[in-house]
Amino acid sequence: MNLIMFGTREDEKDAAMVWSKKTGINVETTTEILTMDTLGKVKGNDGVLIQQTGKLDEALYPALAEMGIKQLATRSAGYDMFDLKAAKENGLAITNVPAYSPNAIAEFAVTASLNMIRHMDLIKKNVENHNFSWNKGILSREVRSMKIGIVGTGRIGRITGELFAGFGAEIIGFDLYPNDEARKFLTYKDTLEELVKEADLVSIHMPATEDNYHLFNKELLAQMKDGAYLVNTARGTIVDTEDLLEALENRKLAGAVLDTYEYEHPFVNKDLKGAAIDDDIFNALMARDDIFYTPHIAFYTETAVENLVEGSLDATRDIITSGKSDFEVK
């Protein structure tokens, strides 16, 4: 059996080689992403794994099927790069890695939130300018005095809520499918609107779907508590960025943490040092002191990388050999 990993980073190669040696299955790696231009690299392989944020070209699905490929695996939890309908029509099973390391993202969400709440970027900037004064601009709240809203109480959301609860904060949550584990430390709200009206900080932990595209838009942001914070370590399309910018400009919100951005594909995980970013919305985000932006990196820990590589390779092998996998996206 031969497998090919597209979009392979240097930090993934060791885990891929360890898995290959353990299973006796050949794993080819390439830094290039899967496109119609790179489709030829699939020839001679039985399985395909990707790591990319942009949508796959629709022409890839029938082309892969014609090459005898039966599956597509993403080395991520999110799978919004796939057209599930097109995949099904062409007999391609889609797999993801839903629980590679929920702690990684949860820890990052809390860390970045603390950075924003305690004005760490502004303090650092002041110190660099030899401004060592104490002033109202860097006066901050204590987390234990805040009500934290968790939107999406799956694995990542639950751990995020537990970490915030460890600071003594009151935790509230919203999920279409509440679970008993989360009830141990949070109180569910019946509607998302009810949650955002009460929360001092809202942390998003849900997959991107057609139904939640721009869920956090002008109308919902207007219902948030004055001076609240918004944290998105989930998917960029869940937040309407232009509406968020307006809410910050009007000082409706005190700040936002964004590890994902809806138009990030052209530059995330690329070194563009010295190059201009041709994106007016993104440049507007970067110009603000009340935005803490990171390039879709909340997941990025040693444990997570190993689990993502091994989990996606396991799923690929299982689909090829048995036609099914616990990680298959239905």
The closest of 42, 34, 128, 119 to 81, measured between CA atoms, is 34
| Beta bridge mates, 28 | 4
Query: Residues 158, 296, 310, 317: which is the catalytic one?
Result: 296
For 202, the 3-state DSSP assignment is strand
- Of these residues, 264, 306, 310, 317, which one is catalytic? 264
Which residue in this structure is represented by tokens 């996998």? 325
CB 288, CB 76: distance < 8 Å: no
For residue 213, the SS3 value is coil
For residue 323, what are its two tokens?
């036609």
The residue to which tokens 């990052």 are assigned: 108
Q: Kindly tell me the number of DSSP H helices and DSSP E strands found in the chain.
A: 12, 12
205 among known catalytic residues: no
Look up 296 and say whether it is catalytic.
yes
C-beta of residue 126 within 8 angstroms of C-beta of residue 138: yes
Active-site option among 12, 235, 262, 317: 235
Residue 7: HSE in the Cβ half-sphere, 13 Å Cα cutoff:
20
Half-sphere exposure of 261 (CA within 13 A, CB side): 26
Q: How far apart are the first and last CA of the chain?
A: 25
The token duo for 277 is 């970013």
Active site members: 235, 264, 296
